Each structure stands twice: as C-alpha cells, then as structure tokens.
C-alpha cells in the first residue's frame, strides 16, 4: 500500500510525464496522442493545483473540433509510430488537426462546469469562450447520434469501452472476409490477455475502413454501417453534459429551451434501453432491436445522467457485495465476465468515479463507499489503466493520466 501524500506526489508526476504542453497523453508509449474523455479527466486532475493548466487542457481538446461540431476521439498532434491506426489509416480530414473520424463520451462539458464552480473568477472568461464550441458539440450529437431517443455509438471506440460485451451482437453481424493488412501496436506493450482479441480488432479496423470509404460522411454512414448501438454510457454521459450546459448557459443569459427539450426527450428515450429481462439498462442495437445480454458498468451511470432507478440500485448493491473495488466493467455474474480483459470485467477508476458522483447526488450512501474503494484500489495498484475487481491488482498499461487525475481529485476531496 502506498501512503496518501506519497501517492499525490506521484500522481502529479504522472501528469507531468504525460503532459505535452497544452494536452496530456493517456500514457506514454501505448497512447501517444490526445484522447477526448481522457483529456477531460486530466483537466480535473490539473484543477487540484493549476486551474490555468486545467482550462488549457479543455481548450486544446476543442481546438480540434470539426466545422460540423464533432470533437474527435483522438487528436494526432504529433505523429508517432507507437500507435495504430494513425491519421492515414483513418483518412479523416474534416478538422483543423489530424484526427480520428468519430467522437467519444462528452465528459468535457461536465468538467468545465466543475472547474467553473471551483474558481468562478478564472472560470468565467474561460467558459465564455468555450461555451459556443461545447454547444456546437452538443448539437452535433443531437444531429448525428440521436436515434430511437438515445445516443448511439457508431464504433466501439466511440463509446470509450472498446471491447465491452455491449457490442458483441452488433459486431457479430460484421464479416471480415479478406485478411486486413495492418499490425497492432498495443499487444507489443501490454499482455495480449488484457487486450481485445484479433477478431475484435479486425472488426474495429473494418469499421474504420468503412468510415474512410465514405470520407466520414455521416448520412452515408448511417445507412451503410451495420454498427449503430444505443449506448447507456454515451446516453447518460450526454444527458449529464446537457444538464451542465444548461447551468453554464444560464450563467451567461443564454436561451436554454432547446437544451431542456432535448434533455426531456432523452429522459423519455432511456426506456428504449430498458431490458425488462435483465431488469436493467443495457446497450441495444438499433439495426436489429436486440439487447446486449449482460449489463456493463455504463448502465450504472443512470444517476450521473439524472435518472434514478430502484432496480438499478438493487443490482448495484448486489455487485458491490460480490466484488471489493467498485463496479466492474461487466456484471460479475455474467458468463462473459473476465477479470483481466479490459472492458469485459476489470474495474476502471473513471467509471467508479462518475457512478459515485451520480449516486452522491441522489444521497445514496454507496457513493462514499465507491469513492473509498476507488482510493483503496489506487493505493494498492498505483496508476494502472484498470484493475482486477476482486484483488485491486493493476492491469493493462501503467502510469495512466486519468487514474492519477481521479486520485488527485479524490485525495483533495473537492
């Protein structure tokens, strides 16, 4: 076990090591670019001791916004040979900075609201200049990802939960006939058993190629792509973003009617994700109407998005009894549960953190337990990418920005 003050110092060092000036990489080597929701968490980490740097992180993220409002999931500021797929593989040239062609969960508006609440003096000007871009991103989600009343992921990477079983059914409809010509870089750095399989990776790349063939033209992709899955994660995180955008807009005297209407549409829309067999929110393929057959940690973001549910609460209590370190990325009783493989079982500090934030707002005592479990997990395992939910052992990559950032925020107890 590490000591709190020692860990705080190390967490700052992780951020420093991953800092590239105006943006922060998730970790050196494995992820050498700016990732969207990672950056939002990095900003939260910086906010504990350097508010200016915290805002710069968000500003650099929005500097890659496409003219259509999309904020890409990866910004390739400086080319690296450590990562695949690179800009030429994506062929996505819609924005000012080379990027991927998809987005990622919009945590940034929520972080902007937190930063602004922590320091309104500094925050006022920064929000004022960032708000139009954030609103434009929200509109992009409504125009391009709002289907069946919820937000769809158009690629597993867009959800941020790459190999979650939430995508298994939709991916099973993709058939990669000819062998694809590419070589993975991730498995050179992390044990293969902790990463997505080759079959999954083939399909991820197949989807990238499909997007590239349409030049990332949304309306064409909507028709052509077999992958459009209603995602509890994107939906609840987006709902939360809208709530926070409403609060920020009110501060600047902006009209909020549309935001409120859309929030209400999404609240009603969440019934599309309710799987009455599982008695839980679950991912659902909009092409077939089929539900994922298990529940992931994203389903527990309902409170974060502003939706209370007794049945979800019952699941939460059950799972918290099964495992020691918070909410695993897959229901621990699912037959697909794998404690080491990425989003198919391990616990992620950021998910625990967001779930706990939501629970706290509904005054559930489990919020504190989850915050504490997250801290204990990091004390045991350090700043790992993710953790074994039973032992807290570190898994995946090391020296992770978002795990360090969650530590800093929780240790500071803002």
Segment near ligand GLC (CB under 6 A); pick from 30-38, 142-150, 257-265, 296-304:
30-38
Toward ligand GLC, which CB reaches closer, 83 or 263? 83
Q: Does residue 364 sit in helix, strand or coil?
A: coil
Residue 358 within binding range of ligand GLC, rule CB under 6 A: no
Of 23, 35, 263, 383, the residue at the interface with ligand GLC (CB under 6 A) is 35
The alpha carbon of 99 is separated from its chain's Cα centroid by a whole number of angstroms, namely 17
Of 12, 26, 158, 408, the residue at the interface with ligand GLC (CB under 6 A) is 26
Token pair belonging to 295: 């529940």
* Long-range contacts of residues 215-224, Cβ cutoff 8 Å, at least 24 apart: 215/91, 216/91, 216/92, 216/94, 216/101, 218/68, 218/144, 221/154, 222/144
Beta-ladder partners of 387: 347, 394
Residue 109 within binding range of ligand GLC, rule CB under 6 A: no
Toward ligand GLC, which CB reaches closer, 182 or 272? 182
Of 12, 23, 31, 47, the residue at the interface with ligand GLC (CB under 6 A) is 31
Segment near ligand GLC (CB under 6 A); pick from 34-42, 78-86, 265-273, 276-284:
34-42
Toward ligand GLC, which CB reaches closer, 38 or 168? 38
Residue 328 within binding range of ligand GLC, rule CB under 6 A: no
Distance in Å, CB of 256 to ligand GLC, minimum? 30
Subset of residues 160 to 179 that bind ligand GLC, contact rule: CB under 6 A: 160, 162
Q: Is 215 left (phi over 0), alpha (psi -120 to 50) or beta?
A: left
Tokens 């953790």, located at residue: 387
Of 38, 168, 338, 388, the residue at the interface with ligand GLC (CB under 6 A) is 38
Distance in Å, CB of 342 to ligand GLC, minimum? 7
Single out the residue of 205, 188, 201, 202 nearest to residue 397, CA to CA.
Answer: 188
Active-site amino acid positions: 162, 385
What is each CA distance from 257 to 125, 252, 261, 366, 375, in whole angstroms?
23, 14, 6, 34, 39
Toward ligand GLC, which CB reaches closer, 123 or 326? 326
What is each CA distance from 143 to 64, 100, 336, in whole angstroms?
19, 19, 34
Toward ligand GLC, which CB reaches closer, 89 or 361? 89
Distance in Å, CB of 161 to ligand GLC, minimum? 6
What character string, x for contact with ligand GLC (CB under 6 A) and - otherwise, covers 121-160? ---------------------------------------x
**Rounded to an integer, what distance in angstroms lies between the CA atom of residue 360 and that of residue 64?**
33
Q: Is 413 left (phi over 0), alpha (psi -120 to 50) or beta?
A: left
Toward ligand GLC, which CB reaches closer, 85 or 98? 85
**Alpha helices (runs of H) in 362-414, residue ranges in sequence order:** 366-381, 401-412
Angle CA 200–205–210, to nearest 5? 125
Residue 244 within binding range of ligand GLC, rule CB under 6 A: no
Q: Which chain residues interact with ligand GLC by CB under 6 A? A: 26, 31, 35, 37-38, 160, 162
């Amino acid at each position: 076990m590490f000591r709190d003050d020692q860990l705080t110092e190390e967490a700052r060092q992780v951020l420093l090591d991953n800092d590239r000036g105006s943006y922060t990489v998730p970790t050196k080597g494995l992820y050498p670019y700016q990732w969207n929701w990672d950056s939002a968490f990095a900003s939260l980490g910086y906010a504990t001791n350097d508010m200016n740097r915290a805002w710069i992180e968000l500003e650099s993220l929005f500097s890659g916004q496409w003219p259509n409002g999309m904020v890409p999931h990866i910004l390739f500021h400086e080319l690296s040979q450590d990562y695949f797929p690179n800009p030429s593989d994506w062929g996505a040239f819609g924005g000012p900075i080379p990027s991927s062609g998809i987005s990622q969960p919009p945590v940034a508006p929520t972080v902007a609201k937190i930063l602004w609440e922590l320091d309104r003096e500094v925050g006022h000007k920064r929000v004022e200049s960032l708000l139009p871009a954030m609103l434009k991103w929200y509109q992009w989600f409504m125009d391009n990802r709002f289907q069946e009343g919820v937000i769809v992921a158009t690629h597993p990477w867009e959800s941020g939960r790459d190999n979650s079983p939430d995508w298994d059914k939709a991916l099973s409809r993709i058939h990669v006939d000819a062998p694809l010509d590419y070589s993975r870089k991730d498995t050179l750095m992390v044990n293969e058993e902790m990463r997505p399989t080759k079959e999954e990776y083939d399909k991820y790349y197949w989807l990238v190629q499909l997007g590239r063939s349409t030049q990332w033209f949304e309306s064409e992709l909507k028709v052509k792509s077999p992958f459009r899955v209603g995602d509890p994660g994107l939906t609840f995180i987006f709902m939360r973003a809208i709530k926070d955008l409403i609060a920020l807009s009110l501060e600047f005297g902006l009209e909020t009617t549309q935001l409120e209407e859309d929030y209400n549409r999404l609240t009603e829309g969440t019934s599309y994700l309710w799987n009455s067999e599982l008695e839980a929110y679950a991912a659902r393929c909009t092409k077939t109407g089929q539900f994922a057959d298990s529940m992931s940690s994203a389903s527990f973001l309902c409170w974060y998005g502003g939706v209370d549910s007794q049945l979800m609460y019952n699941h939460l209590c059950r799972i918290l009894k099964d495992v020691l370190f918070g909410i695993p990325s897959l229901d621990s009783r699912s037959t697909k549960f794998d404690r080491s493989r990425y989003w198919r079982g391990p616990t992620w500090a950021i998910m625990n953190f967001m779930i706990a934030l939501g629970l706290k707002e509904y005054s559930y005592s489990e919020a504190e337990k989850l915050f504490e479990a997250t801290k204990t997990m990091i004390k045991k395992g350090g700043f790992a990418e993710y953790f074994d939910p039973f032992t807290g052992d570190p898994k995946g990559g090391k020296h992770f920005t978002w795990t360090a950032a969650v530590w800093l925020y929780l240790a500071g107890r803002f």
